[in-house]
A and B are shown apart, each in its own frame.
Chain A
Amino acid sequence: MKTRLAKFPFWHEAVLALLLVALLITANTMEPRFMRLGTQIELSRHLWEIALLALPMMLIIITAGIDLSVGSNMAMCAVTLGLLYEAHVPMPLAIGAALLVGIIGGAINGAFIAFLRVHPLIVTLATLSAFRGVAEGVSLARPISGFPASFGLLAQGTFACLPIPAWMFIAAAIVCSVILAKTPFGRFLYAIGYNENACRFTGINVPRIKLLLYTLAGFMSALSAIIFVARRNTAKADVGTGIELDVIAAVVLGGVSIFGGRGNIVGMLLGVVLIHETREFVSWHWNNDELILVVLGVLLIASVLLNSLFSRRSRSD
């Protein structure tokens, strides 16, 4: 019995799901208003940028990589959008340009990592500050505001009961999970995470895959930036500051191993939702910004400890 329990491969997800249910039940008893559907939908608007970025981040971390530059890339895209709008470029064109900037930013990361084989931590640490610097330099740190209301709807609007960014996320998540679970490409990601050299020897085009992944992260950064600007009606060089840490925390909490090779979309989604609900509930009930940071820190350490405990147990038999 004991060994069968230990072999159950989804301990981490089960623990997260239990934690989440416990949290929601507690929240419902303490703050019924918090658990109303309307409230939850409104509060979910704080989530979508992080959720969208968590998808490529998960894929990247599965290959034992990391992308620290997503927040700074967002700033470049936001500033592009803002400056073009200010220069009376039509909104669809400005959005297209922002997406292009994001893709280029991601491709720069990808090229260094894939072809020059510099460690992703170093490359994206460099672009974390470089991209932010470009955004600040180009915009002179000036906020650009007053976007048209129709553009604001992109983030503030609702379609079939859910915020529009939620639909974007659902679509992207479905695509991601199919790729990860059903295609050779998805299998290759795990393989690269386990043993990159072995993959190279078996003829998998590792550089191409990596380039694609970091470019995808760039595209998602741009999408997040557009949603952010639409939601706050302001494009500024400090958009997305520190968001990379929120994203990585959610992905790691979701059981995606930072050493690569392990992780799935269900766990990642649970991680994202658990962090979001914890943050919003603590904020709702205690109105104390300091407390949120402490609670999230404890949650993260506890889950990583649990995870290593279980994985050690399953390895030992």
Chain B
Amino acid sequence: MKFALPLTFAALLFAGCKPSAETPAGSSAGGKKITVCMLPKKKGVPYFTSCSQGAEEAAKQLGNVELIYDGPTDGAPEKAAAMIEKWALQGVDVIAVSPNDPDVLAPAMKKAREKGVHVVTWDADGAAGTREYFVNQATAQDIGYALVDTMAKDIGGEAEGEVAIITATLTAANQNEWMKFMKERLAKYPKLSLVGVQPCNEDQKVAFQVAQDLIKAHPNLRGMWAISSVAFPGAAEAVKQSGTAGKVFVTGLSTPNDMRSYVKDGTVKSVLLWNTKDLGYLTVYASNALANGGLKAGAASLSAGRLGEKKIAGDQVLLGDILVFTKDNIDQFDF
């Protein structure tokens, strides 16, 4: 029995040393068959599942793309990094990453690029130098402006009164970027005065509490932006329970499924988000174009199937349409 381990290792070595006639995947040229691996931040959550549906659709339409969609079910960055390493070893053509922790994933992404694999990011960007393109759902400016415009429209009339923001954490990069542009856009509505920015630490219960406090502390409060998918339902619940629906408007970014009940009972007028299916769809089109030479440095646009021509700004492919879900259209979306 004491030979079991050496034997095992010997077996390992022999198996490993066997010369393999296999060629690296996708070495033929032109419209070639490619493998695209798509990594969500976390597998099994509605947001990313709907992204994967769009990606499947694109892969089917293109015909030459074999799509692999996998990610850590617990959202562990270490597992995500291990998956990138595995795909790089398999010699796939494109790895499309939505990094759940850009720093942890950076060495694996860089290594994959060194091995000649195309790496793009989607949904969230990676660390510097880790990817070729970022498929961006919307620029921070679009999101910031849309949030403010939607609020002004919801309040209606002269868009008058006090407003507040509930953000994720005070250090959240995405949210801070959006808030910069929200403040810029607020200049267009001089009668709206921003009375506070409060973090909810990505906790729905805290968001609920913060929203309640804001409503009590500011009797003239007309609007609250809850700009994370966790903050939004919490804030909406606070408005509902305080009975101020119709006086205090709350809007923000979240999925239609999370907000459906609040939209239907009139607590929330509008919910903002991008079309997540289209985001997955565009990611696969961009990946295919990159691997097949259809996406070269300096290109100004990308033709993306049913989405038509999509703009490219620098090294970002822009999806660019922000959806507003209201009572009238929210039932058309299921994610």
Contact = CB atoms under 8 A, between A and B. Distances in A.
B294 interface: no
Contact of A284 (B74, B81, B90, B106): B90
Nearest to A155: B107
A270 B44 contact: no
A290 B5 contact: no
Interface string B54-77: 000000000000001111111011
A241 B16 contact: no
A42 B85 contact: yes
Interface stretch (B17-25, B132-140, B238-246, B254-262): B17-25
B89 A17 contact: no
A197 interface: no
Interface string A1-36: 000000000100110010011001101100011011
Contact of B89 (A28, A43, A266, A269): A43
Contact of B86 (A14, A238, A280, A293): A280
B4 interface: yes
B7 A17 contact: yes
Contact of A33 (B4, B5, B20): B20
Contact of A270 (B4, B18, B78): B4
A40 interface: yes
A283 B4 contact: no
Contact of B73 (A43, A156, A280, A289): A289
B1 to A, nearest CB: 4
B321 interface: no
Contact of A143 (B11, B68, B101): B101
A35 B16 contact: yes
A53 to B, nearest CB: 14
B4 A290 contact: no
Contacts of B297: none
Contacts of B101: 143, 234, 236
B20 A36 contact: yes
Count class of interface residues, chain B: 35 or more
The winner among B7, B13, B83, B90 for most chain A CB atoms within 10 A is B90
A39 interface: yes
B79 interface: yes
Interface string B73-115: 1101111011101100111000000000101101100000000
Interface string A39-80: 110110110000000000000000000000000000000000
Give the secondary structure class of B's interface.
helix
B70 A288 contact: yes
B301 to A, nearest CB: 32
A280 B90 CA distance: 12
A257 B213 CA distance: 55
Contacts of B70: 287-289
A35 B79 contact: no
Nearest to B73: A289
A152 interface: yes
Contacts of A46: 82, 85
A232 B4 contact: no
B103 A143 contact: yes
Interface in B230-286: none
Contacts of B103: 143, 145, 232-234, 236
A262 interface: no
Contact of A42 (B17, B74, B76, B89): B89
Contacts of A32: 18, 20, 22
B107 A233 contact: yes
Interface string A281-310: 001100111100100000000000000000
A152 to B, nearest CB: 7
B43 interface: yes
B187 interface: no
B86 A283 contact: yes
The winner among B2, B11, B44 for most chain A CB atoms within 10 A is B11
A270 B90 contact: no
A175 interface: no
Contacts of A36: 16, 20
A171 interface: no
Nearest to A274: B8
A152 B107 contact: yes
B22 A33 contact: yes
Contact of B68 (A10, A38, A42, A287): A287
B29 interface: no
Interface string B20-51: 10100000000000000100000110000000
Nearest to B9: A273
B90 A20 contact: no
B76 A24 contact: no
A14 B18 contact: no
A34 to B, nearest CB: 8
B104 A236 contact: yes
Contacts of B1: 10, 13-14, 266
Given A20-B8, A266-B1, 16 more contacts: A17-B8, A24-B12, A28-B15, A28-B18, A32-B22, A33-B20, A33-B22, A37-B17, A39-B16, A39-B89, A40-B16, A43-B86, A46-B85, A156-B107, A287-B69, A289-B72
12 contacts: A24-B11, A28-B15, A35-B12, A38-B16, A43-B85, A234-B103, A269-B5, A283-B86, A287-B37, A289-B70, A289-B71, A289-B79
